[in-house]
């Protein structure tokens, strides 16, 4: 090939590569247009998706507003000018938001609790008018055909598609404590929704009168029991309501639980966030305890109550006073001891070890918190038919309110001085229904037991009682003239603010007789879930002639309401005993009593007091001072918790009251009080139930007895 030929070939190739053909230009334009169309489509889809998401959010808000509107009822029955529970029915409406129409369909189904309070029915049981709760299904849909905006001046010609959402909710006929509270006035004081309430039926549910038309009652015939081996939960509610001849109105619900747990003990971390102080009553609601640095626990098992986490964590003391979970009558400081149980024997544990625990819980703002321990003050036993009559309920209710008033006003040892109640005791025997035609050959009778529990009056409650009443400790307290000081609306009696509860204990107490199986005995089965166990059922046994004393026995603290073995070795964990005399075979005369005597001397340390101490018996003991320095107590044969109270000792030095206490090397102190005068200074001892002489009691200076 010559040079000329190569040069021409190269120029031809360069000429062809120096530009684009028309076909290439057209192809590039097509690709660009397709890309722009795809981008425009993507932008439209994004805008459409955003608008659809926005409408779903608006629809959800409309559904939630509809539910909240239904929950805000004021009365149960249809009433002119008020929102009523009965008016929550099926309905259809249209709501417009942002130019879009939303169709709202409400489908309501009433439900009624059956007798077991667990099963429900869509059909009302006989005699029931108001449903227990309603299930509301709310469907919100929006109409198709709505254009959407691309920008301020441009909208699409295309249409949005339709859509819908559905939400379900339960509307209870009786609101919880917090749902019932509303802002009644601009001053921030709390009011209550006027919701109708049907009081429970006697004899299991007893209305305790607080004021002229105000009552409180436990809502279940017996506490609800859930059991997993030795781990037990017991539940009960307390309802406060107003009542007159025509209707009753719900005011407040308090939900309690007692639980037992296995925990692992931990040392304080120093973070200040180890656990909460007790949740305590202030006169209108429960104040949640703050978090502090202290010993705490962790749930040692996932096979127990879900509430054991909070029980193990919080049920630890940091000192005395309001920080304490235990009753203040006990003398202590610091955290209480914790124990494990090995073959029934309690052994003290240190951090890192497992222990057993029992807690009292109260629902606060939807969550269960650990409250001060249950504190049983008095227990009474009844035959099956007692409290069937209105007159008997009135007598028992009057006794409870008078006893509580006397207790917290006079600050005297329980039972309050001068107050007694005859629930068919040993002196008034209960006849087992024998030899009655038509009865089975082994007739039975369910015995009953009730207990009165109280909480300590701590600083917040004390302050509010002082603000709400003039001399609230008197038998006739007067509401304060300036009710702006009282943050509890419409209270007319301090009993409305004082924390006490009358609880059915029949299936929680332990039952026994003084003469087992002769002539009668009582059932005492282990606790079972849903109260399927039997306790306190008297039945014929042995000779079927004669009589026997039936005992209802329950531990006075948290353990009593879960009926398990003790979890601590403390004086506050004492038993309360109520007696009932049961006869069989027509025998109606109780056996002659065999009494015991306890006697001794009272010594006064030099320079301590010039007062002559008083002597008073309790719990079945009658005590007298035979001389200024000697005493004798006669203990009834049926007494189960006899006590001796030494009082009227105090002295002043240069105007200051010396702290004094009565001590004994023979007797165990049950409780004591150190005050500024003779009425508030006393020591109560636990007496033996056998003949005992040579008891020595000495009044010494100090806040506790020497070792």
3-state secondary structure 495-547: HHCCCEEEEECCCCCEEEECCCCCCEEEEECCCCHHHCCCEEEEEECCCCCEE
- Rounded to an integer, the average pLDDT of 468-478 is 74
Interval 587-643: pLDDT, tens? 666 555 567 889 998 887 755 655 668 888 888 888 887 776 788 888 877 777 899
Burial string for 584-597 (b: 16+ CB within 10 Å, else e) reads bbebeebeeeebbe
Q: What is the pLDDT of residue 43?
A: 57
Select from 556, 499, 559, 472 the least CA-distant residue to 287.
499
Q: What is the pLDDT of residue 264?
A: 95
Q: DSSP character for 482?
A: -
Cα(107)–Cα(219) distance, integer angstroms: 31
C-alpha of 418 from chain center = 31
Q: Residues 528, 534, 535, 539: what is their CA dihedral angle, to the nearest 10 degrees? A: -160
- Rounded to an integer, the average pLDDT of 427-451 is 68
Return the structure tokens found at 493: 């009696």
* C-alpha triplet 573, 576, 579: angle, nearest 5°: 160
Select from 684, 643, 678, 688 the least CA-distant residue to 663.
684
Tally Cβ neighbours within 10 Å of residue 562. 26
Q: How many CA atoms lie within 13 A of 302 on its CB side?
A: 0
Identify which has the larger pLDDT, 424 or 598. Answer: 598
**Full-model pTM:** 0.62
Q: DSSP character for 255?
A: E
Beta-bridged to residue 668, according to DSSP, are 686
Beta-bridged to residue 142, according to DSSP, are 102, 163
Cα(314)–Cα(287) distance, integer angstroms: 15
Taking 70 as the threshold, does the pLDDT of residue 127 lie above it? no
Identify which has the larger pLDDT, 80 or 558. Answer: 558
- The band of 181, judged by pLDDT with boundaries at 50, 70 and 90, is very low
Tally Cβ neighbours within 10 Å of residue 569. 12
Cα(557)–Cα(573) distance, integer angstroms: 6
Taking 70 as the threshold, does the pLDDT of residue 703 lie above it? yes
Taking 70 as the threshold, does the pLDDT of residue 528 lie above it? yes
Verify cis geometry, omega within 30 degrees of 0, for the bond prior to 519.
yes
Identify which has the larger pLDDT, 477 or 704. Answer: 704
Verify cis geometry, omega within 30 degrees of 0, for the bond prior to 377.
no
Identify which has the larger pLDDT, 185 or 157. Answer: 157
Cα(210)–Cα(397) distance, integer angstroms: 9
Taking 60 as the threshold, does the pLDDT of residue 157 lie above it? no
Residue 432 three-state SS: coil
Q: What is the pLDDT of residue 190?
A: 34
Beta-bridged to residue 172, according to DSSP, are 133
- Rounded to an integer, the average pLDDT of 517-546 is 81
Residue 584 contacts by C-beta under 8 Å, 6 or more apart in sequence?
431, 432, 434, 519, 520, 540, 544, 545, 546, 547
Taking 80 as the threshold, does the pLDDT of residue 192 lie above it? no
Cα(376)–Cα(558) distance, integer angstroms: 9
Q: What is the pLDDT of residue 184?
A: 29
Return the structure tokens found at 171: 């509307």
Interval 327-364: pLDDT, tens? 765 555 678 889 987 766 788 999 999 999 999 999 88
Is the alpha carbon torsion for 194, 196, 200, 206 positive or negative?
Answer: positive
> What are residue 234's phi and psi, to 5 degrees?
-125, 130
Q: What is the pLDDT of residue 361?
A: 93
- Rounded to an integer, the average pLDDT of 82-98 is 84
Tally Cβ neighbours within 10 Å of residue 159. 12
What percentage of the chain has pLDDT greater than the value 90? 12
Burial string for 385-412 (b: 16+ CB within 10 Å, else e) reads ebbeeeebbeebbebbbbbbbbbbbeeb
Cα(707)–Cα(59) distance, integer angstroms: 73
Taking 60 as the threshold, does the pLDDT of residue 439 lie above it? no
Q: Residues 263, 266, 272, 276: what is their CA dihedral angle, to the nearest 10 degrees? A: 20
Taking 90 as the threshold, does the pLDDT of residue 313 lie above it? yes
Q: DSSP character for 269?
A: -
Identify which has the larger pLDDT, 260 or 33. Answer: 260
Largest CA distance in the chain: 156
Select from 624, 407, 442 the least CA-distant residue to 517.
442
Q: What is the pLDDT of residue 113?
A: 73
Q: What is the pLDDT of residue 643?
A: 93
DSSP string covering 380-422: EEE-TTTT-SHHHHHHHHHHHHHHHHHHHHH-PPSSPTT----
Cα(551)–Cα(564) distance, integer angstroms: 18
- Rounded to an integer, the average pLDDT of 651-664 is 75
Selection from 69-73, 146-150, 309-313, 555-559 with the highest mean pLDDT: 309-313
**115-119, 299-303, 512-516, 690-694: least confidently modelled range:** 115-119
Tally Cβ neighbours within 10 Å of residue 195. 21
Interval 547-587: pLDDT, tens? 788 888 888 889 888 877 778 876 556 778 888 888 877 76
Selection from 56-65, 90-99, 385-394, 498-507 with the highest mean pLDDT: 498-507
Verify cis geometry, omega within 30 degrees of 0, for the bond prior to 415.
yes
The per-residue pLDDT of the chain, averaged, comes to: 77
Interval 40-66: pLDDT, tens? 555 555 445 556 667 777 788 788 788
Q: What is the pLDDT of residue 328?
A: 62
- Rounded to an integer, the average pLDDT of 668-697 is 85
Burial string for 371-381 (b: 16+ CB within 10 Å, else e) reads bbbbbbbbbbb
**CA distances, 291 to each of 265, 270, 318, 461, 691 (Å):** 18, 12, 11, 21, 51
**353-357, 458-462, 622-626, 658-662: least confidently modelled range:** 622-626
Residue 65 contacts by C-beta under 8 Å, 6 or more apart in sequence?
none
3-state secondary structure 347-366: EECCCCCEEEEEEEEEEECC
Cα(168)–Cα(140) distance, integer angstroms: 12
Taking 80 as the threshold, does the pLDDT of residue 685 lie above it? yes
Selection from 432-441, 499-508, 587-596 with the highest mean pLDDT: 499-508
Cα(195)–Cα(440) distance, integer angstroms: 46
DSSP string covering 111-169: EEE-TTSS-EESSPPTT--S-SEEEEEEEEEE-S-B--BSSSS-B-SS-BPPEEEEEEE
Q: Do 631 and 600 form a contact (C-beta atoms < 8 A)?
A: yes
């Amino acid at each position: 090939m010559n040079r000329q030929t190569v040069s021409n070939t190269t120029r031809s190739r360069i000429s062809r590569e120096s530009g684009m053909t028309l076909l290439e230009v057209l192809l590039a334009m097509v690709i660009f247009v397709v890309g722009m169309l795809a981008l425009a489509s993507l932008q439209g889809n994004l805008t459409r998706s955003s608008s659809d998401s926005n409408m779903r959010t608006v629809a959800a808000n409309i559904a939630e507003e509809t539910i909240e509107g239904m929950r805000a009822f004021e009365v149960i029955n249809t009433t002119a000018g008020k929102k009523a529970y009965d008016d929550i029915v099926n309905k259809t409406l249209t709501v417009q938001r942002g130019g879009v129409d939303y169709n709202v369909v409400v489908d309501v189904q009433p439900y009624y609790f059956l007798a077991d309070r667990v099963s429900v029915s869509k059909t009302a049981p006989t005699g029931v008018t108001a449903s227990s709760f309603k299930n509301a299904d709310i469907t919100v849909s929006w109409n198709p055909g709505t254009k959407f905006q691309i920008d301020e001046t441009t909208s699409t010609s295309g249409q949005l598609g339709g859509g819908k959402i559905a939400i379900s909710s339960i509307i209870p006929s009786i609101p919880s404590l917090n749902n019932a509270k509303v802002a009644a006035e601009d001053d921030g004081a709390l009011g209550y929704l006027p919701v109708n309430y049907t009081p429970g039926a006697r004899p299991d549910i007893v209305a305790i009168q607080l004021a002229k038309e105000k009552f409180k009652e436990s809502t279940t015939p017996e506490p609800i029991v859930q059991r997993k081996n030795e781990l037990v939960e017991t539940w009960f509610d307390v309802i406060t309501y107003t009542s007159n001849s025509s209707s009753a109105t719900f005011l407040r619900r308090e939900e309690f639980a007692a639980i037992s747990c296995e925990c692992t003990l931990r040392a304080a971390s120093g973070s200040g966030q180890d656990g909460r102080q007790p949740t305590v009553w202030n006169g209108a609601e429960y104040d949640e305890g703050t978090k502090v640095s202290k010993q705490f626990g962790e749930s040692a098992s996932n096979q127990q109550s879900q509430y054991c986490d909070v029980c193990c964590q919080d049920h630890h003391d940091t000192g005395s006073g309001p920080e304490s979970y235990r009753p203040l009558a006990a003398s202590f400081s610091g955290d209480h001891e914790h124990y494990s149980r090995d073959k029934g024997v309690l052994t003290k544990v240190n951090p890192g070890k497992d222990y057993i625990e029992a807690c009292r819980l109260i629902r606060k703002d939807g969550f269960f918190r650990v409250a001060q321990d249950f504190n049983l003050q008095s227990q009474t036993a009844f035959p099956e038919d007692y409290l069937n009559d209105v007159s008997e309920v009135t007598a028992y209710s009057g006794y409870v309110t008078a006893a509580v008033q006397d207790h917290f006003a006079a600050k005297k040892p329980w039972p309050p001085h001068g107050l007694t109640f005859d629930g068919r005791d040993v002196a008034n025997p209960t006849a087992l229904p024998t030899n009655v035609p038509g009865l089975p050959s082994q007739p039975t009778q369910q015995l009953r037991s009730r207990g009165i529990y109280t909480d300590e009056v701590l600083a917040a409650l004390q302050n509010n009682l002082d603000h709400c009443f003039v001399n609230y400790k008197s038998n006739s307290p007067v509401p304060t003239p300036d009710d702006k000081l009282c943050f509890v609306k419409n209270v007319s009696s301090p009993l409305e603010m004082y924390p006490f509860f009358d609880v059915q204990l029949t299936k929680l107490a332990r039952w026994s007789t003084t003469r087992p199986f002769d002539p009668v005995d009582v059932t005492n089965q282990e606790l079972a879930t849903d109260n399927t166990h039997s306790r306190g059922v008297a039945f014929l046994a042995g000779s079927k002639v004669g009589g026997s004393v039936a005992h209802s026995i329950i531990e006075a603290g948290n353990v009593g309401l879960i009926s398990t073995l003790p979890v601590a070795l403390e004086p506050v964990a004492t038993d309360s005993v109520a007696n009932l005399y049961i006869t069989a075979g027509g025998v109606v005369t109780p056996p002659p009593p065999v009494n015991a005597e306890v006697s001794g001397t009272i010594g006064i340390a030099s320079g301590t007091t010039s007062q002559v101490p008083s002597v008073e018996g309790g719990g079945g003991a009658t005590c007298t001072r035979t001389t200024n320095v000697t005493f004798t107590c006669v203990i009834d044969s049926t007494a189960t918790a006899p006590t001796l109270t030494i009082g009227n000792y105090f002295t002043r030095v240069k105007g200051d009251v010396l702290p004094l206490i009565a001590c004994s090397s023979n007797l165990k102190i049950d409780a004591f009080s150190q005050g500024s005068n003779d009425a508030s200074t006393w020591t109560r001892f636990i007496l033996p139930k056998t003949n005992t002489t040579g008891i020595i009691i000495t009044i010494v200076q100090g806040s506790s007895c020497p070792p």
